[in-house]
Structure 1
Amino acid sequence: MAISEYPSKLSLPQSNPGVVTVLDYLIIKFPYVDAQIWRQRMTAGKVHWHDGTLIHAHTPFETQQRVYYYREVDNEPQIPFQDTIVFQDEHLLVAYKPHFLAVTPGGQFVNECLQTRLRRRTGLDSLQALHRLDRVTAGLVIFSINPNTRHPYHELFKTRQVHKTYQAIANVSNSDNLVGQEWEVKNRIVPSEPRFRMQVVEGNANSHSVIRCVQQSAQQALFELTPVTGRTHQLRLHMQTLGWPILHDKYYPVLEPLSTDNYATPLQLLAKEIQFIDPITQQVRHFRCQDRLALLED
């Protein structure tokens, strides 16, 4: 049994959804977690309010309060790839995340994630990710170190003042001459079934990416992707829209059966660069990871 070293937090909604206790709400909120598991966590003192006061099975529901709990999983997988710190100052830490490593706890991962790894290594328990990458995507992730300066950095991402550049590889026809071409993709992305998978539907566009081809071999092409918006799985869906789904994508265009990770075939998507004007120092920040995606040789 793996137990998270750091609590997860949940904000209770502004209006009561028709429950009496916090336990009732947690059972509704997390339908795949057995009610008895929540009772056991509460008995063991692993569920509490923001001030540390323990929450028990009969604790009344309170709107807009934060609940903290410690996630548990059986047989947590260990990801055999190393993350690296690219930059660190008093406000920010920038790290390279390898494929298959989650940014924060989720699913079957509680301690084996980038945020927990970095907290252990640096001793900075206040370290918090400012944005996310899919677990199967590699690349740069920015963390806030100082809670007192965290809000301005959150605002950068919220107001789309962070410029990101990705790389992706897709299989292409050798009859296509794609190098130098550029595509602007705008469409509407909404949840599908199952809800962790997204889909493109008719309607007003809520996603926008600029994609261009920078290199090509007989079988594959390397693309540079610039997301203007940040919808879930946006780049993966936009590559599919163009007819070139990203190599080794297990979600798109077809959802593959659930299976263990194949470390030999990672999703060929890399968060390569990130640039913004630092709201604290007013300096231009430009970070680039050394890792790169490589085409199959002709």
Structure 2
Amino acid sequence: MARAPLPIRDGLGPDRIRMPAGQPSVTVVDYLLGQHPGEDWDTRLGAGEVVDEHGRVVDHTTPYQPTRFVYFYREPAPEVPVPFAVDVLHRDAGLVVVDKPHFLATIPRGAHIRETVVVRLRRDLGLPDLVPVHRLDRMTAGVLLCTADPALRRPYQEMFEKQRVRKTYEAIAPALADGEFPRTVRSRIRKVHGELTASEEPGEPNSETLIELGERRGALARYRLRPRTGRTHQLRLHLNSLGAPIVGDNFYPEFRRRDPNDFTDPLRLLARSLEFDDPLTGEPRRFESRRTLEY
């Protein structure tokens, strides 16, 4: 996708609207006022903050442009602040590695816009081009790799796509009375778009996790998880399938809603480390979280 004609502001890029064909509108403003009346177009137009896809400022006389885009800044709805910091583990000219806290989303999406790793880092580090090259769930903490130079995105993204990154996670879950460890769990995971939870179903496995047992403490244990694949909620599902759902998991085995103001019961899942051979230099690299999981 081409770069947006408006710059990143306060960590956020502009929104855009496509002007469809077949509209009776004479001007761009006619269309915006008619189809999106809830927006404060007068203020944006007065500030010169509505532009077409070539960066030309839109005013009340700008002719309607069917199939083209108009860009503008939108103020997100208020969000509950996540009271935990994003810690920087490594930063160089193009690579930023951070220690993501629980409860903070990786990228702007849905109800989580400003309270995301991407928006915080773009704003706080002054890096408008920063993007993650992989994802961590909002409820998962730990090591997250980002690039700050668009030219570097593809090489690092391909590491993950081609499974050239060695990932180690930790989880706190019930201690199993039986079962041998280490053990490999394979299953077929299905995630339907729009549904919050994923499920395991019969068929050819498309996910694989090596699970190792660490220390036991009463009824709970610390597990090391080494996924070979990266399916949605894979680690949660694989531990749950053994009868050991992760402590703090509100999705499995049964979904329960969380109070958005409650930050006291995180999912006890941590992306402990990432290891890989740097795609640019070939140098072995390893990054490890400084966070701990509490029982």
TM bracket, shorter-chain basis:
0.7 to 0.9
Q: Summarize the Cα distance change of 1:67–1:205 in structure 2 as closer, same or farther, 3 Å threshold.
A: farther
SS of the residue corresponding to residue 274 of structure 2 reads: strand
TM-score, normalization by structure 1: 0.79
**In structure 1, what is the Cα distance between the partners aligned to 2:83 and 2:196?**
25
Show the 5 A alignment for 1:1-298. 5-7=11-13, 20=21, 40=39, 44=44, 51-52=54-55, 59-61=65-67, 70=73, 72-172=75-175, 176=177, 181-192=181-192, 195-257=195-257, 259-295=259-295
Contact 1:42 1:57 in 2 (8 A): no
Partner amino acid, structure 2, of 1:108: A
Q: CA deviation at 1:9?
A: 7.4
Structure whose CA Rg is larger: 2
Contact 1:21 1:61 in 2 (8 A): no
Tell me the residue number matched to 1:31. Answer: none
Partner amino acid, structure 2, of 1:109: H
Q: Summarize the Cα distance change of 1:68–1:292 in structure 2 as closer, same or farther, 3 Å threshold.
A: farther
Quick one: percent identity of the two aligned structures?
34
**In structure 2, what is the Cα distance between the partners aligned to 1:102 and 1:72?**
18
Flag structure 1 segments of 5+ consecutive residues without an equivalent. 13-18, 23-34
**In structure 2, what is the Cα distance between the partners aligned to 1:57 and 1:216?**
69
Q: CA deviation at 1:61?
A: 3.5
Aligned length: 269
**In structure 2, what is the Cα distance between the partners aligned to 1:245 and 1:88?**
35
SS of the residue corresponding to residue 39 of structure 2 reads: helix
**In structure 2, what is the Cα distance between the partners aligned to 1:41 and 1:233?**
39
Contact 1:48 1:69 in 2 (8 A): yes
Q: Summarize the Cα distance change of 1:76–1:172 in structure 2 as closer, same or farther, 3 Å threshold.
A: same
**In structure 2, what is the Cα distance between the partners aligned to 1:156 and 1:100?**
26
**In structure 1, what is the Cα distance between the partners aligned to 2:100 and 2:15?**
23
**In structure 1, what is the Cα distance between the partners aligned to 2:40 and 2:202?**
44
Partner amino acid, structure 2, of 1:99: H
Tell me the residue number matched to 1:15. Answer: none
**In structure 1, what is the Cα distance between the partners aligned to 2:14 and 2:203?**
36
Flag structure 2 segments of 5+ consecutive residues without an equivalent. 1-8, 24-33
Q: CA deviation at 1:243?
A: 1.1
SS of the residue corresponding to residue 156 of structure 1 reads: helix
